[in-house]
Amino acid sequence: MKKICVLACAMASLFSAPVWANEAGKSDTGLDYNYLGVDYASYTISSTSGYAGYKVNGSVLVNQNIYLLANYFNVDKSSTVYEKSNIGLGYRMPIAANADFFTSLAYYSQTKEQSTSPTKATNTGYNLSLGARAKISSDADITGGYSYISAGSYSYNNFNLSIKYNLTDAIYASGGYQSQTGSSSLSGYTLGLGLKF
């Protein structure tokens, strides 16, 4: 619970300063970087399906190239709970009139807890990501990315694809798919809503 509070406070501090960005979180390619979203998450982890929960994620554009990011992920099934969180710094660079290349480096933490076991396993490390975002219409953009994660003796390769669609000037809907290989496998999808600042 303490970790959730710390992450919530960190995210709140990120979103309390959207004035740092030049134009309310919008890059020169028209992509929004000031946002806070909440997603429903459904995953298969290590060949076991039925894990469900939520993901909270967001970012803030500091200037036209640098942004801060944070996210928290929590899914469970019966007596097992998985938590993951990232907080870090990203860099975006325009590669077309409506597209960005991005890379980020984040502090990463993962926890597995089982009510049938007295121990709670937590590992920390880093998450190095890169990818691209592009506007496909005036209201929609897509993101494709790759992340390499190292946490203790564990390492993972993550691939993700997501889409955001603006419902209004301030509210968007999102959907995504993620696949993970490495020390453990994972696949699943997210569906959610978010606010742009």
The predicted-structure confidence for 159-187, as pLDDT tens digits, reads as follows 999 999 999 999 999 999 999 999 999 99
Is a pLDDT exceeding 60 seen at residue 157? yes
Mean pLDDT of 27-37: 92
CA–CA separation, 53 vs 40, rounded Å?
A: 6
pTM: 0.83
DSSP secondary structure letter of residue 18: G
Give Cα 114 to chain centroid, integer Å: 24
Domain 2-196, CATH: 2.40.128
Mean pLDDT of 63-91: 96
Dig out the tokens for 139 from the structure: 């209201």
The shares of helix, strand and coil residues in the chain, as percent rounded to the nearest 5, are: 10, 70, 20
Is a pLDDT exceeding 90 seen at residue 90? yes
Sorted by where each begins, the domain ranges of the chain are: 2-196
Beta-bridge partners for 146? 130, 159
Provide the pLDDT for residue 23.
52
Is a pLDDT exceeding 90 seen at residue 116? no
CA–CA separation, 172 vs 152, rounded Å?
A: 36
- Pick from 179, 128, 122: which is nearest to 153 by CA? 122
